[in-house]
Amino acid sequence: MTYSPKRIVIFASGAGSNAKNIIEYFQATDAVEVVHVLSNNIRAKVLQTAHDLEVNALHFDRAALYETNEVLNVLKDANPHLIVLAGFLWKMPEKIIEVFPNKIINVHPALLPKYGGKGMYGERVHKAILENKETETGISFHYVNEKYDEGEIIKQFKVKITPDDTLTSLTRKIKKLEHKHFPKVIEKLLDR
């Protein structure tokens, strides 16, 4: 009997620290394999990071995602057990969500449903949280549906906000939470 690892495809738009963390975490096991890293940003550092870690890295444009089936066909060929959005800023089209129901997850840098929606990502979220003088924030792992940040929540992790927190310190706290929990949440979902 041949054993094949569970396959993950990661979508990312930027530096890709979460993608790097996930790839390195699963390189230590034979049970899970990151088969592709896909990015809508040709200059995204995540593409080079994926190459360096010997994972297929592909760039696509808006037409390949929304107007044609290019990205969908790449996904169908990869047949992933899970599609992971790790700092991916475009909305996932319905045609992909329909083919991979409850197989696409995202991490959001706040405790949803607060501070979610179109345009709410990265430092924009942290800035709004600080401006509203929240005492805690965190991260939300959720399934992706056709609306920004409205899919079923899988798991949330909280962190306290102190009066001396700045945009930089809060960004660091959130990134640390993501790095700690992202691979483990993926692992749990793949074990189901």
Q: Which residues are catalytic?
A: 108
Q: Is 143 helix (H, G, I), strand (E, B) or coil?
A: strand
Count other C-beta atoms under 10 Å from residue 46's C-beta.
27
Q: How far apart are CA 137 and CA 84, in angstroms?
A: 22
* Sign, Cα dihedral of 88, 93, 94, 97: negative
